[in-house]
A and B are shown apart, each in its own frame.
Chain A
Amino acid sequence: MAVALVLVLVVVGSILFHILSPWWWSPIASNWGYIDQTLIITFWITGAVFSAVVLFMAYCVFRFRHREGVKADYNPENKKLEWWLTAVTAVGVAAMLAPGLYVWSQFITVPDDATEVEVVGQQWQWSYRLPGQDGRLGKSDNRLVTYENPLGIDPDDPYGQDDVVIEAADLHLPIDKPVKMLLRSIDVLHDFYVPEFRAKMDMVPGTVTYFWFTPTRTGTFEVLCAELCGTGHGYMRGIVMVDTEEDYQAWLDGQTTFAQLSAPTTVGVMDADEP
């Protein structure tokens, strides 16, 4: 009796917790509302299955608990029932998988008009690079990383000269413009994670990974590292600000390009070389 009651309470308690608890995801700030919807569908289906199984168990425990003189049924198989259950399960699984795969195909198909923004992770800070006037990022290589060139941009690549370098500072993005985040690491694995954007992806040294999204809400959002990257992992935070077009331009005008960053140093070196 008590056992059946506890099983019922587990179901009722879980549902009430889900409905009443204040703990839910943060308001979305990107175009990935589809992900939220797929998640909601999954909650409904799995919640129904969980409740059905546990309540069935509770009923069995209550109804078929041991009584003197009552014998259990002898019932090895029921082919028809087993196939029915298999088929119903397969339908439920398909109902979750189909929207999931559909949204995934959108997730990995970057729109042509997406602007590229590079995120560079290193222990334990975030840096960024924007393509500059030519709309193209210059080549980069971890072997080129120096104190003066923290992102390892290839100084011989003309596309790289006008790249905007944002070292360990906030990133700004214009609202309603799709962006392709190109992700790079100069040391270990990191993961660029902004909960409100829903999207995230690991950054892997030696390769460039990506994801895309469209910011849909202005505001200040926190960046967290979501892939264990050493002792400072929990403190690897950053800020992304989604601006209106005007605010974004104003911010962009105040940034420095790779050429500007390297110029004074180059002059300094030449001074030293000339007696």
Chain B
Amino acid sequence: MVDATPHAEQGVPPAETPELELYHPKGWWTTYVFSQDAKVIAIQYSGTALAIGLVALVLSWLMRLQLGFPGTFDFITPEAYYQFMTMHGMIMVIYLLTALFLGGFGNYLIPLMVGARDMVFPYVNMLSYWIYLLAVLVLVASFFAPGGPTGAGWTLYPPQAILSGTPGGQGAGIILMLVSLILFIIGFTMGGLNYVVTVVQGRTRGMTLMRMPLTVWGIFTATVMALLAFPALFVACVMMLFDRLLGTSFFMPALVEMGQLMSYGGGSPILFQHLFWFFGHPEVYIVALPAFGIVSDLISTHARKNIFGYRMMVWAIIIIGALSFVVWAHHMYVSGMHPWFGFFFATTTLIIAIPTAIKVYNWVLTLWRGDIHLTLPMLFSLAFIVTFVNGGLTGLFLGNVVVDVPLSDTMFVVAHFHMVMGVAPVLVVFGAIYHWYPKITGRMLNEAMGQFHFWVTFVGAYAIFFPMHYVGLVGVPRRYPELGDVAFVADSVHSLNAFITIAALIVGFAQMVFLFNLVWSLRYGREAGGNPWRATSLEWQTPTTPPPHGNWGAARPIVYRWAYDYSVPGAPEDFIAQNDPGPQHRGAV
């Protein structure tokens, strides 16, 4: 057995620089609204992301109503269906998940977990949120624009995205969408630079990189990836905006629309797809890596056992992050790109399964001989593993180029990516909120409501997306508002669709209980104390809860050990905090 963790004996380096003075808010507005405190910014990010996410949730109900009971709802025209679908996808991926994991959890947890007083550039951090809010408002504005929002699908593939055959293509819809994305990327870059520099430069004494909690590793790596991937989307958006407004032809070949020869010529629609997926595939891991990190910490804490194979876990995060930049064209096997690409991208895609599998093994091996407390964060973590393994394995179908050919553009794909990057990360979001809510508010979330929320969400989401794979296997294409009578589709598939819709409505309802719990427990939740889970990482060791601006009172903590000293043999308690110097050193530093 190798001891992976240098402990207190390694010593703590002396402070090299004096502490910087934090900005002191002068009144209510600068404390709670135009705040430079990362924790307030985190709550602003999270609140905004959840609010717009609620819109996307309602849109998903409308889509499911149409798919489950086609022809019943007159107001869901094909145009409306495509608009619901596009906005649902874009909001969920970008404005909810990316913003929540990085802007929300990143802002709240990074400074606390690495022992910093705040992000290194608090003013830019504040700007980041307000530009994000502006991006969300522009996005919302497109619902009220003439012609409505764009219905081009969240992938926004040209030429159709900017032509009149697509809802919003010749109206303001697509323009507002592209402008909103550009704003989002500008805002994100401001926040992202902050998260990266804070992790690299802002760690407290003794917090070596290999002592950081995996949550920080996940968010840090995801942010580095986002900083490299979003520029591809940025230029793609700018170019498409030029094609739409100035008549350039970056992505537009010569084409005839509704009998009219357009003035475009010479551009490449596939170029857009390369740019989009050069961003789009890392984006999957931008959402997944923070979830990987967080779930590692939740499992370790609630199983009272160190995360198994910490160093391997760190390297797996980094390798997945790097490999995810060379797999993008697996979204394009049937796009008409050169077929030889298939060999390369299928190989890289299946290789990425190996470090991902290692993470899964290490999570379940952490449970082995643990002391498993079936708290809400642990339940959500277990549910995450089930759904992530399920969704990850169906990725091996779609990544293996020739198997993808019959399945691509069917409901199998929809089921796959919802399971792996919808349900699985959202379950982590819930687990994380149940875990850190006591630190943020000082109160526990209500357990009974939480149990109801968990069981309905987990079982319900599985009942929605597992059978959906088989709808795709039958051959039902995605992005069809209704299938009508098709010979190869049995009537029973329509019954299955109705079942999925009912399950989706029930799961949606359970989220209202969760939102109610968030508000109710703010006032009526049980007092949590500073460290209700008896956890080791620094955020639980703050002198006051919730932590005030500056986090640490008079002196920043000093770190003597990794974040996973649970159930250490011979220790008086089943956890040793990271800033605990250990029995032989207590009082020495």
Cross-chain contact A46 with B397 (CB below 8 angstroms): yes
12 contacts between A and B (CB under 8 A): A23-B467, A25-B474, A73-B567, A76-B306, A78-B365, A97-B346, A104-B339, A189-B269, A207-B270, A225-B477, A228-B160, A232-B165
Interface string of B359-392 (1 = CB under 8 A from A): 0111011011111111000010010011001100
Cross-chain contact A209 with B346 (CB below 8 angstroms): no
Stretch at the interface among B48-56, B175-183, B227-235, B490-498: B490-498
* CB closest residue in chain B, given A208: B336
Chain A residues with a Cβ under 8 A of chain B:
3, 6-7, 10, 14, 17, 21-26, 32, 34-35, 38-39, 42, 45-46, 49-50, 53-54, 56-57, 60-61, 64-67, 70-79, 81-82, 85-86, 89-90, 93, 96-97, 100-101, 103-105, 107-108, 122-123, 141-143, 145, 147, 152, 183, 185-189, 191, 193, 195-196, 198-207, 209, 220, 222, 224-235
Q: Once bound together, how far apart are the Cα atoms of A123 and B303, in whole Å? A: 57
* CB closest residue in chain A, given B483: A234
Cross-chain contact A200 with B389 (CB below 8 angstroms): no
Stretch at the interface among B212-220, B249-257, B420-428: B249-257
Q: Once bound together, how far apart are the Cα atoms of A23 and B268, in whole Å? A: 38
Interface string of B305-326 (1 = CB under 8 A from A): 1101111100000000000000
The answer to whether residues A71 and B371 also contact, given A189-B160, A205-B269, A226-B477 and a CB cut-off of 8 A, is: yes
Of all A-B residue pairs in the complex, the 8 with the closest CB atoms, nearest first, are A206-B253, A230-B165, A195-B475, A209-B336, A46-B393, A108-B339, A188-B160, A60-B367
Known: A56-B364, A205-B254, A230-B166. 6 other contacts (CB 8 A): A17-B470, A23-B474, A77-B310, A101-B347, A103-B402, A233-B82
Cross-chain contact A76 with B310 (CB below 8 angstroms): yes
With both chains docked as a complex, state the minimum distance between the C-beta of A175 and any C-beta of chain B, in angstroms: 19
Cross-chain contact A61 with B372 (CB below 8 angstroms): yes
Interface string of B427-471 (1 = CB under 8 A from A): 000000000000000000000000000000001001000110011
Cross-chain contact A78 with B406 (CB below 8 angstroms): no
With both chains docked as a complex, state the minimum distance between the C-beta of B7 and any C-beta of chain A, in angstroms: 11
Cross-chain contact B311 with A77 (CB below 8 angstroms): yes
Q: Once bound together, how far apart are the Cα atoms of A82 and B1, in whole Å? A: 12
B396 contacts partner chain A, Cβ-Cβ < 8 Å: yes
Residues on A with beta carbons closer than 8 Å to the beta carbon of B3: 76
B516 contacts partner chain A, Cβ-Cβ < 8 Å: no
Cross-chain contact A72 with B574 (CB below 8 angstroms): yes
Main secondary structure of the interface of A (DSSP, over half): mixed
Chain B residues with a Cβ under 8 A of chain A:
1-5, 78-79, 82, 151-153, 155, 157, 159-160, 163, 165-167, 169, 253-259, 261, 265-270, 303-306, 308-312, 334-336, 339-340, 342-343, 346-347, 350-351, 353-354, 357-358, 360-362, 364-365, 367-374, 379, 382, 385-386, 389-390, 393-394, 396-397, 400-403, 405-410, 459, 462, 466-467, 470-471, 473-475, 477, 479-484, 486-488, 490, 492-493, 496, 564, 566-569, 574
Cross-chain contact B270 with A204 (CB below 8 angstroms): yes
With both chains docked as a complex, state the minimum distance between the C-beta of A159 and any C-beta of chain B, in angstroms: 21
Q: Once bound together, how far apart are the Cα atoms of A42 and B397, in whole Å? A: 7
The answer to whether residues A96 and B396 also contact, given A23-B492, A53-B385 and a CB cut-off of 8 A, is: yes
Residues on A with beta carbons closer than 8 Å to the beta carbon of B346: 97, 100-101, 104
With both chains docked as a complex, state the minimum distance between the C-beta of B429 and any C-beta of chain A, in angstroms: 20
The answer to whether residues A72 and B369 also contact, given A42-B403, A187-B165 and a CB cut-off of 8 A, is: yes
Residues on B with beta carbons closer than 8 Å to the beta carbon of A77: 1-2, 4, 308-312
With both chains docked as a complex, state the minimum distance between the C-beta of B222 and any C-beta of chain A, in angstroms: 23
| Most B-side CB within 10 Å, residue of A38, A54, A201, A233 | A233
Q: Once bound together, how far apart are the Cα atoms of A211 and B407, in whole Å? A: 16
Residues on A with beta carbons closer than 8 Å to the beta carbon of B462: 10
Cross-chain contact A203 with B480 (CB below 8 angstroms): no
Contact of B473 among A24, A71, A105 (CB under 8 A): A24
Q: Once bound together, how far apart are the Cα atoms of A273 and B471, in whole Å? A: 59
Residues on A with beta carbons closer than 8 Å to the beta carbon of B394: 46
Cross-chain contact A222 with B371 (CB below 8 angstroms): no
Q: Once bound together, how far apart are the Cα atoms of A109 and B163, in whole Å? A: 35
Cross-chain contact A100 with B403 (CB below 8 angstroms): yes
Residues on A with beta carbons closer than 8 Å to the beta carbon of B474: 23-26, 195
* CB closest residue in chain A, given B385: A57
Cross-chain contact B389 with A53 (CB below 8 angstroms): yes
Q: Once bound together, how far apart are the Cα atoms of A199 and B564, in whole Å? A: 50
Q: Once bound together, how far apart are the Cα atoms of A235 and B481, in whole Å? A: 9
* CB closest residue in chain B, given A61: B372
Q: Once bound together, how far apart are the Cα atoms of A97 and B353, in whole Å? A: 11
Cross-chain contact A71 with B254 (CB below 8 angstroms): no
With both chains docked as a complex, state the minimum distance between the C-beta of A13 and any C-beta of chain B, in angstroms: 8
The answer to whether residues A26 and B488 also contact, given A93-B354, A230-B160 and a CB cut-off of 8 A, is: yes
Q: Once bound together, how far apart are the Cα atoms of A78 and B312, in whole Å? A: 10
Residues on A with beta carbons closer than 8 Å to the beta carbon of B306: 74-76
With both chains docked as a complex, state the minimum distance between the C-beta of A150 and any C-beta of chain B, in angstroms: 9
The answer to whether residues A228 and B152 also contact, given A38-B402, A66-B373, A189-B159 and a CB cut-off of 8 A, is: yes
With both chains docked as a complex, state the minimum distance between the C-beta of B433 and any C-beta of chain A, in angstroms: 20
Q: Once bound together, how far apart are the Cα atoms of A196 and B367, in whole Å? A: 45
Cross-chain contact A101 with B343 (CB below 8 angstroms): yes
Cross-chain contact A122 with B256 (CB below 8 angstroms): yes
With both chains docked as a complex, state the minimum distance between the C-beta of A26 and any C-beta of chain B, in angstroms: 4
Contact of B574 among A56, A71, A235 (CB under 8 A): A71
Cross-chain contact B334 with A3 (CB below 8 angstroms): no
Residues on B with beta carbons closer than 8 Å to the beta carbon of A35: 402-403, 405-406
| Most A-side CB within 10 Å, residue of B163, B409, B471 | B409
